[in-house]
């Protein structure tokens, strides 16, 4: 029983972090039609920023939670305006063009990080990183708990932005009906700029959270992208609630499956789950 | 003799000094032209963290050999192309180096998947290829031109560990083992060695799980291992999953007597990034800077002086060793012809910083038997006893 509880808890915490990593990816895909391959590259860049700031002390780490999303928002808007939107301006295959152009951004960012930091892996360590909170027979590493807290905070802020602010509602309107939104006077370009910026900011917070649990290097963004794709497709492109539920499900499946089946079956089970959901509900578990 | 013939003869005789002078000049140019050695390495991408150390090893060797007068009296020039950690790029670039750039010699790539693929290219073009190889499977294809000097052989990885464990009283040895293995060529090769070693020592394997990357969480695996009561935990993986495993072990308070980790614990970042939590992990190795093999002490001193290392990283030593083996073949055969190099390597024992290497028909030397343990932030050699740099700490102290 303790094993099951341990596995479920671990899965929920890890799943929350993966959900935040994926939420911005889905937001951009839904609102702008862009498959942003560079999304997790910004997460890795934020992880490096947190790593560097942490070298100055604990206050450095916490300041990265403010600096990283702010910088990422600005870079996200700049990237969208200067590269993605012009590339997508006059083409039919929006998804393909944006995929290729953002792949280029991702590769460029990877190489920039490698040039600055070298290709070696890093581990973000805080004084509490390897401690754990133990209640009866269940343990939660404090780094996982901290990372999950940032993830929940990020998801709550994102939800608040999308559902309680005018700009966020405008993003959702453009998403659901671009023509209708334009008729209401919503500036689509401005809204999509903001959507891309917000998504990149969430990627940055997720990157700091991921760095608390996983080693990272410039090339890690591809691994993290796999999670984002899986979770967004299962949850429903553009649905924050769907991404959250999907992240939790993927996290729990990842940790619980090993209790009853060989762990090597995990990728098969996860992707069978993905295929099952897509066949049952092609648009994912939830719509926006 | 007719007048025409005499005139022709005189002209011919006058030309002889010019031709001789020309030949002399040509010979001088050829002798001083650098020997071009080509290879590919992952300088970007997922394997770049280790690839750059092999690069540094190759470059250091080139500087070293040029300072000693070069090879066959000619300077060497090493041309390293970035294969971006892609096997396809590694093979196509190597082919280009051989067929278009026409390099004189080639050197091995990294990691094992790229090296194994490049062995095929080298065999096709009959070029001597000295590298880590891609574990036993890659050396079992009947290739004539490939040599592991030393090979990075998962099937030999824990040889030294099993030898060391065999010296511990049976009552004090671990009673049961639990293992998690990264399900790729490297993990599976190391696992093979693990299975043989456990069987030889009579330690039952009560858990044998495989996993793939990305690993979302190591906790379920560690939790399962702890639940079996295993006092020997073996994690046959890389750096990132190794870090996750260590952290999960600490969080779940899993305290086996002995913790073996595959290859992640040998890169400098293990000690640098994990700090004290990285201590006590035991692993194997194919080379160590404290083993007094020919030239190792000189190399360590020179590397410290010129590059600032206190301890040269493993893959720096590998790169140097592979290049040095090529140097021995060239100097020994007095030739750049690959068939001459092959003949020399098959018939002779060479001495490099990796030790005395005598190659069998597969291109492999005798299996190595080293064991390492991270103690106080340093990768110490604990086996063989004759080269030991620290007393092993066993059993592993519990987490603080």
Residues B383 and B238 in one domain: yes
Residues of B in contact with A269 (CB under 8 A): none
Residues B180 and B279 in one domain: yes
Residues of A in contact with B278 (CB under 8 A): none
Q: Which residue of B has its CA nearest to A110?
A: B45
Q: Is residue A100 part of a domain?
A: yes
Q: Is residue A287 part of a domain?
A: no
pLDDT value for A180 = 83
Residue A177 CA neighbour count, 13 Å, CB half: 6
Gap from B349 CA to chain A (nearest CA, Å): 36
Residues B55 and B146 in one domain: yes
Q: Is residue B365 part of a domain?
A: no
Gap from A73 CA to chain B (nearest CA, Å): 26
Could you report the predicted ipTM of this complex, rounded to two decimals? 0.86
Rg for chain B, CA atoms, rounded: 25
Residues B102 and B187 in one domain: no
Residue A270 CA neighbour count, 13 Å, CB half: 27
Q: Is residue A286 part of a domain?
A: no
Cα A11 from Cα B302, distance rounded (Å): 50
Local structure of residue B74 (DSSP, 8 states): B
Q: Is residue A213 part of a domain?
A: yes
CA neighbor of B238 nearest in space, from B208, B209, B270: B270
Q: Is residue A20 part of a domain?
A: yes
The set of residues, in sequence order, having a beta carbon less than 8 Å from that of B340 and lying 6+ positions away, is B333
The number of distinct structural domains making up chain B is 2
Q: Across the interface, do B224 and A215 touch by the CB < 8 Å criterion?
A: no
Q: Which of B42, B46, B212, B217 to mutate to test the interface with A (most CBs of A within 10 A)?
A: B217
Residues B119 and B166 in one domain: no
Q: Which residue of A3, A213, A251 is in closest CB contact with B227?
A: A3
Q: Is residue B208 part of a domain?
A: yes
Cα B36 from Cα B27, distance rounded (Å): 17
Q: Which helix (H) or strand (E) holds B84?
A: none
pLDDT in tens, chain B (400 residues): 444 455 555 554 444 444 444 444 444 444 589 999 999 999 988 888 889 999 999 999 999 999 999 999 999 999 999 999 999 999 999 999 999 999 999 999 999 999 999 999 999 999 999 999 998 999 999 999 999 999 989 999 999 999 999 999 999 999 999 999 999 888 999 999 999 999 999 999 999 999 998 898 999 999 999 999 999 999 999 899 999 999 999 989 999 999 999 988 877 788 888 889 999 999 998 888 888 888 898 899 888 888 887 788 888 999 999 999 999 999 999 999 999 999 999 999 999 999 999 999 999 999 999 999 999 998 899 999 998 999 999 999 999 8
Q: Is residue B99 part of a domain?
A: yes
Residues of B in contact with A143 (CB under 8 A): 247
Q: Across the interface, do A263 and B180 touch by the CB < 8 Å criterion?
A: yes
Residues B230 and B377 in one domain: yes
Q: What is the largest CA-CA distance in chain B?
A: 107
Q: Say what angle helices A2-32 and A39-54 make with each other, to 10 degrees.
A: 120
Q: Across the interface, do A223 and B214 touch by the CB < 8 Å criterion?
A: yes
Q: Which of B187, B209, B211, B247 to mutate to test the interface with A (most CBs of A within 10 A)?
A: B247
* CB-based contact A141:B247 (threshold 8 Å): yes
Q: Across the interface, do A7 and B219 touch by the CB < 8 Å criterion?
A: yes
Q: Which residue of A has its CA nearest to B275?
A: A125
The set of residues, in sequence order, having a beta carbon less than 8 Å from that of A260 and lying 6+ positions away, is none
B354 exposure class (CB count in 10 Å sphere: 0-12, 13-18, 19+): buried
Domain coverage including residue A24: 2-280
Residues B25 and B48 in one domain: yes
Q: Is residue B201 part of a domain?
A: yes
Residues B260 and B297 in one domain: no
Inter-chain CB pairs, A–B, below 8 Å = 135
Q: Which helix (H) or strand (E) holds B260?
A: strand B258-261
Q: Say what angle helices B296-307 and B314-333 make with each other, to 10 degrees.
A: 120
Residues B49 and B99 in one domain: yes
Q: Is residue A288 part of a domain?
A: no
User: At A257, which CATH number?
Assistant: 1.10.3470
**Chain A within 8 Å of B46 (Cβ-Cβ)?**
yes
pTM, full prediction: 0.85
Domain coverage including residue B319: 3-153+291-358
Q: Which residue of B has its CA nearest to A13?
A: B217
**H-helix segments, chain A:** 2-32, 39-54, 58-79, 85-88, 94-117, 142-164, 166-176, 178-183, 188-213, 221-235, 240-260, 266-280
pLDDT in tens, chain A (288 residues): 767 888 899 999 999 999 999 999 999 988 888 899 999 999 999 999 999 999 998 889 999 999 999 999 999 999 999 988 888 776 666 677 888 889 999 999 999 998 899 888 898 988 776 678 887 778 888 889 999 999 999 999 999 999 999 988 888 888 778 788 888 888 888 888 999 999 999 999 999 999 999 999 998 999 999 999 999 999 988 888 899 999 999 999 999 988 888 888 998 998 899 899 989 988 888 875
Q: Across the interface, do B216 and A255 touch by the CB < 8 Å criterion?
A: yes
3-state SS, residue A35: coil
Cα B130 from Cα B324, distance rounded (Å): 10
Cα A169 from Cα B17, distance rounded (Å): 92
User: At B197, which CATH number?
Assistant: 3.40.50.2300
The number of distinct structural domains making up chain A is 1
Local structure of residue B234 (DSSP, 8 states): E
Interface of B with A in 285-344 (CB under 8 A): none
3-state SS, residue B293: coil
Residues B251 and B312 in one domain: no
Residues B133 and B169 in one domain: no
Gap from B246 CA to chain A (nearest CA, Å): 9
Residues B211 and B329 in one domain: no
Q: Which residue of A has its CA nearest to B246?
A: A130
Q: Which helix (H) or strand (E) holds B284?
A: strand B282-284
Q: Which residue of A has its CA nearest to B43?
A: A119
Q: Which residue of B has its CA nearest to A124?
A: B273
Q: Across the interface, do B49 and A119 touch by the CB < 8 Å criterion?
A: yes
Q: Which residue of B has its CA nearest to A11?
A: B217
The string over B194-213, giving b where at least 16 C-beta atoms fall within 10 Å of a residue's C-beta and e elsewhere, is beebbeebebebbbbbbbeb
């Amino acid at each position: 029983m303790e094993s099951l509880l341990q596995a479920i808890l671990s899965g929920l915490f890890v799943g929350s972090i993966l959900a935040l990593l994926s939420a911005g990816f889905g937001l951009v895909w839904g609102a702008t039609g862009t498959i942003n391959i560079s999304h997790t590259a910004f997460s890795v860049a934020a992880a490096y920023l947190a790593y560097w700031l942490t070298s100055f002390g604990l206050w450095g780490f916490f300041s990265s939670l403010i600096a990283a999303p702010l910088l990422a928002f600005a870079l996200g808007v700049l990237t969208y305006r200067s590269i993605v939107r012009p590339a997508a301006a006059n083409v039919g295959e929006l998804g393909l063009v944006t995929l290729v152009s953002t792949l280029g951004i991702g590769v460029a960012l990877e190489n920039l990080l490698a040039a600055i930091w070298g290709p070696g892996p890093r581990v973000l360590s805080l004084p509490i990183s390897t401690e754990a909170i133990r209640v009866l027979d269940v343990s939660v590493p404090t780094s996982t708990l901290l990372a999950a807290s940032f993830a929940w905070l990020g998801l709550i802020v994102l939800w608040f932005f999308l559902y309680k602010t005018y700009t966020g509602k405008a993003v959702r309107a453009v998403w659901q009906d671009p023509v209708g939104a334009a008729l209401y006077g919503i500036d689509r370009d401005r809204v999509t700029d903001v959507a891309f910026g917000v998504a990149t900011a969430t990627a940055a917070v997720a990157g700091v959270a991921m760095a608390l649990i996983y080693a990272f290097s410039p090339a890690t963004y591809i691994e993290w992208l796999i999670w984002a794709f899986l979770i967004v497709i299962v949850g429903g492109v553009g649905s924050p609630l769907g991404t959250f539920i999907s992240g939790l499900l993927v996290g729990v499946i990842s940790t619980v499956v090993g209790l009853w089946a060989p762990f090597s079956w995990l990728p098969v089970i996860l992707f069978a789950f993905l295929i099952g959901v897509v066949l049952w509900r092609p648009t994912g578990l939830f719509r926006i | 003799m007719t007048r025409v013939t005499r005139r022709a003869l005189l002209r011919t005789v006058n030309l002889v000094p010019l031709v001789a002078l020309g030949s002399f000049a040509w010979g001088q140019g050829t002798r001083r032209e650098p020997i071009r050695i080509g290879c590919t390495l992952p300088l970007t991408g997922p394997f770049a963290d280790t690839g750059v150390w092999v690069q540094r090893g190759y470059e250091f060797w080139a500087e070293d050999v040029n300072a000693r007068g070069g090879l066959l009296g000619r300077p060497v020039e090493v041309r390293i192309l970035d294969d971006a950690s892609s096997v396809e790029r590694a093979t196509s670039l190597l082919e280009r180096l051989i067929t278009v750039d026409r390099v004189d010699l080639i050197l091995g790539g990294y990691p094992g998947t790229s090296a194994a693929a490049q062995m095929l290219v080298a065999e096709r073009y009959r070029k001597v290829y000295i590298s880590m190889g891609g574990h036993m499977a890659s050396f079992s294809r009947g290739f004539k031109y490939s040599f592991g000097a030393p090979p990075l052989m998962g099937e030999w990885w824990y040889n030294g560990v099993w030898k060391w464990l065999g010296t511990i009283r049976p009552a004090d040895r671990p009673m049961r083992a639990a293992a998690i293995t990264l399900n790729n060529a490297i993990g599976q090769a190391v696992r093979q060695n693990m299975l043989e070693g456990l069987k030889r020592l009579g330690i039952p394997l009560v858990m044998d799980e495989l996993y793939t990357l990305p690993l979302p969480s190591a906790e379920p695996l560690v939790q399962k291992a702890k639940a079996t009561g295993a006092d020997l935990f073996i994690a046959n993986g890389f750096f990132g999953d190794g870090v996750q495993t260590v952290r999960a072990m600490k969080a779940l308070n899993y305290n086996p007597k002995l913790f073996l980790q595959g290859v992640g614990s040998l890169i400098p970042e293990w000690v640098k990034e994990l700090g004290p939590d990285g201590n006590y992990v035991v692993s194997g190795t194919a080379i160590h800077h404290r083993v007094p093999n020919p030239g190792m002490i000189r190399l360590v001193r020179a590397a410290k002086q010129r590059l600032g290392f206190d301890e040269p990283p493993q893959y720096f030593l590998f790169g140097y060793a592979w290049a040095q083996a090529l140097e021995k073949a060239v100097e020994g055969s007095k030739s750049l012809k690959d068939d001459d190099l092959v003949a020399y390597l098959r018939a002779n024992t060479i001495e490099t910083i990796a030790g005395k290497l005598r190659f069998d028909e597969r291109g492999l030397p005798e299996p190595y038997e080293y064991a390492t343990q991270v103690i106080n932030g340093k990768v110490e050699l604990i086996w063989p006893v004759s080269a030991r740099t620290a007393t092993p700490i066993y059993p592993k102290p519990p987490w603080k």
